[in-house]
Structure 1
Amino acid sequence: MIKPIIKDQQLLGKKAIPTTKADLPLANDLIDTLNAHQAECVGMAANMIGVNKNAIIARIGPFNVVMFNPQIIAKSHPYQTTEGCLSLSGTRPTKRYKQITVKFHNQSWQMQTLELMDFAAEIVQHEIDHCNGIII
């Protein structure tokens, strides 16, 4: 179901609680809401749709990848960039890493590890920050 986008920075600033297998249906709301905003958005955290759970979705190439309890386990090549966010107006400077390795549960609740670079890595870092209550 398409959910409204939360813009309240107090809600967005709260650290998300871990997901469990019972939260798997959340993937459908993330997919539907990201697809509804595909013209202006490439990723989303669950707290952006009003669910304070550690789950994100990122459009990586042509695929929407849902990650439950994502953790960056390696990162390299820091750089400064400017990002926008569907929950905020304008853009803001932030530090990102060109290459990351992220570990997460997929939509079948299997543990996965992905190595991401460039824009895909930036998207995932932005959304994981949301889960940690960090707003750019």
Structure 2
Amino acid sequence: MHVRVETEPNNELRVRSNEVPPSELGSARIKKLISDLTETMRAENGCGIAAPQVGIHERVIIVDPGNGPRAYVNPKIVSRSLRTFSFEEGCLSVPGVWGMVKRHRSVKVRAHDENGIEVSLQATDLEAVILQHEIDHLDGVLFIDRVEKITRLPNHQIL
């Protein structure tokens, strides 16, 4: 089910999310949340979404760098490359605003998938950017907090 996306300046976006308890990993409730997040991300033409963006303060994200959406529950960045680069980001929760954000080029993430199975992945470039952006949401951080240069689109250009 498509869910309404919370937008800035809603203070709920600044709340740190709670971990999904081990007993809930792979549960029907978490699978439904993942389904709703995925449908919402697609409907909004996003490449990532985090549960806090729909008012749910649990550590669940969806990431789609172009090869299909993947869900991560309780994701944690366990290592980062020293190399960084600036990437132009936008956000479903900050409509009409884009900005250059410096991110690590590569990150290693540990999480659980939609079935509660522990996974580990090494992500680079766009996938690494999306993971860092969505994990920031789980900590109440928006890309505009990290932006180097911001661009606002005129209202007639906002889709």
TM-score norm. by structure 1 comes to 0.92
Give the SS at the match of 2:69: strand
TM alignment of 1:1-136, pairs within 5 A = 1-9=1-9, 10-20=11-21, 21=24, 22=27, 23-24=29-30, 25-38=32-45, 41-76=46-81, 77-88=83-94, 89-136=96-143
- Greater share of strand residues, 1 or 2? 1
CA deviation string 1:74-105 (max 9, x = no partner):
11112233311111031133221111111001
Distance in 1 between residues matched to 2:66 and 2:100, nearest whole Å: 24
Runs of 5+ unmatched residues, structure 2: 144-159
Give the SS at the match of 1:48: helix
Match for 1:50: what amino acid? G
Distance in 1 between residues matched to 2:66 and 2:88, nearest whole Å: 21
Distance in 1 between residues matched to 2:65 and 2:98, nearest whole Å: 21
Match of 2:152 in 1: none
Select the structure of larger CA radius of gyration. Answer: 2
The structural deviation recorded for 1:6 is 0.3
TM-score norm. by structure 2 comes to 0.79
The structural deviation recorded for 1:62 is 2.2
Match for 1:5: what amino acid? V
The structural deviation recorded for 1:57 is 0.2
Give the SS at the match of 2:102: strand
Runs of 5+ unmatched residues, structure 1: none
Distance in 1 between residues matched to 2:98 and 2:66, nearest whole Å: 23
Instruction: Number of aligned residue pairs: give it.
Output: 134
Distance in 2 between residues matched to 1:123 and 1:33, nearest whole Å: 16
